[in-house]
Amino acid sequence: MQNVISLKTICLLFFFVTAFSFAKEEGHHEEGKDLKTEIKEYIDHHLLDSHDFSLFSYTNDAGEHKYVGFPLPVILFDNGLKVFSSSKLHHGESVAEVGGEYYKLYHGKIYKTDAEGTISYDEHHHATNVKPLDFSITKNVFTVFLVGLLMFFVFGRMAKTYKNGQMTKGIGRFLEPIIIYVRDEIAIPNIGKKHYKRYMSYLLTIFFFIWIINLLGLTPLGVNVTNNIAVTFALALITYLITTFSGNKNYWKHIFWMPGVPVPMKIILAPIELLGTFIKPFSLLIRLYANITAGHIVLMSIIGLMFIFKNWVGSTLSFGLAFVLSLLELLVAALQAYIFTMLSALYFGSAVEEHHDH
């Protein structure tokens, strides 16, 4: 029954993804701009983080840009803490004045400007204004917080259902096999029965976090968290730190003084192995970031093609392609969560591996 419901939900979701995408593209049309450039800009904008949570925007009859959504708090460290609502920035259309300083939003970043909001550029058309230290609750931070809250609520409730009896109820019936899968197929084979328990919390959290947030990126809410390198970097950094701090004598010996090879080889291998400890988590962050970014770019480009073709054959084909690709992205969302968890477990496993004779 659960499966049938979730399948229906997914189908409905995709209907909305494609339907809303239509609305988005149409609403954003501007005079004097090439359609292709506009689509490209829209995709670029979509991939970026933003300081407000806007679901979509449109231009009304009076030629005004209207945004549907809500503002988020901006937190800046610039001569002391400055907190204000992102509604003051007006999506980069005007200058915000806070405590005698002037800030302007330009391409998703906050720059310090003068009272007129002048932005100077270098030869590559990059802004050269000072960027204050920005700790704003952006759309992505907000989403991460929301996902955290959701996970806490769902899994916390699931944990409570166990207290009444030995079996879980409701959504736990669906989640429990996944939790057991993470334990039996990811954690135990890679880390070993002796040590896996210490890492279960991290592995389960990261698996469900990446999965849910990837799925959320496929919804029409237009949130994309895992295609932001700062997010994947943070996740990979935690994996790296856990690996490094749980490394035993055997692990470090294999890095600095590889057993079973001649001495000159040991000396050559040591820096390579040491570099390898950084490359491994680095590959994690690049993989997740690149997969999700690529998926979004391709999906949105194909949706954009519908508006470029503007005929029944081409647009229908694009629609079909976008639909199939959405299904593929759904798989990628789970797959990337699995790979990240799997490889993290593999690295933990190598860090705690007991010595054995070669």
Partner 1 sequence: MEKLISEFSVGLFFWQLLLFVGLVFLLKKFAWKPILDAVEKRETGIKDALFAADNARKEMENLKADNERILNEARAEREAMLKDARDMKTKMINDAKDEAQAQATKIIEQAQAAIESEKKAAMEELKNQVAGLSIEIAEKVVRKELSSNDNQLQLVESMLGEATLN
Report how far residue 77's alpha carbon sits from residue 96's, in angstroms, rounded to the nearest whole number: 15
Please report whether residue 155 would count as binding partner 1 according to CB under 8 A: yes
For residues 23 and 167, which CB has a smaller minimum distance to partner 1 in the complex?
Answer: 167
Interface with partner 1 (CB under 8 A), residue from 13, 35, 55, 200: 200
For residues 158 and 305, which CB has a smaller minimum distance to partner 1 in the complex?
Answer: 158
Q: Which two tokens stand for residue 340?
A: 């990240």
List, in sequence order, every residue forming a beta bridge with 147; answer none if it has no partner. Answer: none
Report how far residue 209's alpha carbon sits from residue 288's, in angstroms, rounded to the nearest whole number: 13
Please report whether residue 148 would count as binding partner 1 according to CB under 8 A: yes
Contacts to partner 1 from residues 44-83, by CB under 8 A: 48-49, 75
Interface with partner 1 (CB under 8 A), residue from 60, 61, 122, 166: 166
> Which of 234, 65, 213 is CA-nearest to residue 139?
213
Please report whether residue 233 would count as binding partner 1 according to CB under 8 A: yes
- Checking phi first, is residue 117 left (phi over 0); if not, alpha (psi -120 to 50) or beta? left
- Contact of 114 with 102, CB cutoff 8 Å: yes
Task: Using the structure block, give the residue that is written with the tokens 């690149």.
Answer: 290
Q: What is the DSSP string of 240-302?
A: HHHHHHH--HHHHHHHHS-TTS-HHHHHHHHHHHHHHHHHHHHHHHHHHHHHHHHHHHHHHHH
* Binding piece for partner 1, criterion CB under 8 A, among 13-21, 53-61, 222-230, 327-335: 222-230
Please report whether residue 103 would count as binding partner 1 according to CB under 8 A: no
Contacts to partner 1 from residues 250-289, by CB under 8 A: none
List, in sequence order, every residue forming a beta bridge with 104; answer none if it has no partner. Answer: 111
**Least CB distance to partner 1 at residue 326 (A):** 26
Interface with partner 1 (CB under 8 A), residue from 204, 299, 303, 352: 204
Interface with partner 1 (CB under 8 A), residue from 16, 22, 145, 278: 145
Interface with partner 1 (CB under 8 A), residue from 100, 156, 260, 264: 156
Please report whether residue 151 would count as binding partner 1 according to CB under 8 A: yes
Report the run of H or E that residue 153 belongs to, with start and end: helix 139-164
**Least CB distance to partner 1 at residue 339 (A):** 18
Interface with partner 1 (CB under 8 A), residue from 86, 136, 224, 350: 136
Please report whether residue 102 would count as binding partner 1 according to CB under 8 A: no
- Contact of 215 with 333, CB cutoff 8 Å: yes
**Least CB distance to partner 1 at residue 162 (A):** 4
